[in-house]
Amino acid sequence: MARFLTNAQRIIKIDDITPEQEEKWGEEECKTRRILATAYRLTHYFGWDDIIYGHITARAPGHENQILINPYGLHYTEITAGNLLKIDTSGNIIDHGSTKFPFQPIGYTIHSALHTSRPDLGCVLHIHSRAGIALSAAITKIQAVCQANVELGQISYHDYRGQIFKDEDREPLSRDFPAPSKTLIMRNHGLLTGGKTVEEAFTIMYFLHQTCQCYVDTGYLHSPVPHGKVLSREVLESSLEGSAECRYDTEYGVQEFEALARLLDYQGFQTGYPYSELSKSFLDSHKD
């Protein structure tokens, strides 16, 4: 259930980048910061966040070994484009952003490992949602039980070995999430998705969470899925082709993410999202 605050007493705008920061970080990094901060706010409003835990990271443009990550201690409604930290994959802080908060070692270990082992991923999104944790603890492997499965592709799995914060934890995690998979069930822990862009990783997570919720709502966490209810590989592949044909001229996930970003902007959160020309035209036609 989305939790958009239509009567918020105080709005912390998402795009708080100052002219000085814009000059320091450059246009491309600022663009990535705005999109990533928007993803954090949307993660909260869909109810997927876990107080101050969980992370969404994006590779800093032009720096393969640097990532943007949330300051450890802020709630997802407090994360902005300007206060995201920039760290390298060795754990060094490159830029604190506008706060003094540190980054979390667990988040660093998980995300730096995957950004290092998966150069194809520009964004990694990891959450501890209720439905996601329930499925990760109850199901050995996901079966195709609803249309949302079409978007998940090759699903990977990682067994729980305790908190992931040591160097030796990096290799097993990286091994269990090989390319081209963009969907990872972290057993007894939560969900993780990756994508070339923030929008792609977020949209895949939306469908993964929808699949988890389907398991919860149908009771399939407690009983085997009837054979006749499992979608065939042929049906999934043909449906995926159909989804691709219905997409207008944007990268995967942009249509969906833009629609959600517009919801935030309507409520005054000022995302600074770099909308497509279609969205810009629509927004212009509905200005007061």
Structure tokens of 26? 């450059």
Query: What sign results for the dihedral spanned by CA atoms 89, 90, 91, 97?
Result: negative
pLDDT tens sequence across 92-139: 999 999 999 998 888 888 999 999 999 999 999 999 999 999 999 999
Question: Where in the sequence is the domain holding 246, given as residue range(s)?
Answer: 29-274
Q: Which burial class, exposed, middle or buried, applies to 43 when counting CB atoms under 10 A from its CB (0-12, 13-18, 19+)?
A: buried
Is there a domain that residue 4 lies in? no
Is residue 14 a part of any domain in this protein?
Answer: no
Number of folded domains that form the chain: 1
Per-residue pLDDT of the chain (288 residues; tens, 9 = 90+): 456 555 556 789 999 999 999 999 999 999 999 999 999 999 999 999 999 999 999 999 999 899 999 999 999 999 999 999 999 998 899 999 999 999 888 888 899 999 999 999 999 999 999 999 999 999 999 998 888 888 899 999 999 988 877 888 889 999 999 999 999 999 999 999 999 999 999 999 999 999 999 999 999 888 887 777 776 777 666 666 656 656 666 788 999 999 999 999 999 999 999 999 989 988 888 876
Residue 18 lies in a domain: no
183-186 and 155-158: which strand pairing? parallel
How do residues 60-89 score in pLDDT, each as one tens digit? 999 989 999 999 999 999 999 999 999 999
State how far the Cα of 121 lies from the Cα of 286, in Å rounded to an integer: 35
Q: Evaluate whether residue 24 is within a structural domain.
A: no
List C-alpha distances in Å: 100 to 55, 83, 87, 238.
18, 9, 14, 50
Residue 185 lies in a domain: yes
244 located within any domain: yes
Tell whether 281 is covered by a domain: no
Of the candidates 115, 87, 106, 75, the residue with the CA atom closest to the CA atom of residue 201: 115
Instruction: Give the CATH number of the domain where residue 235 resides.
Output: 3.40.225.10
Distance CA 81, CA 83 (A): 6
Q: Residue for token digits 């085997």?
A: 224
> Is 288 within the bounds of a domain?
no
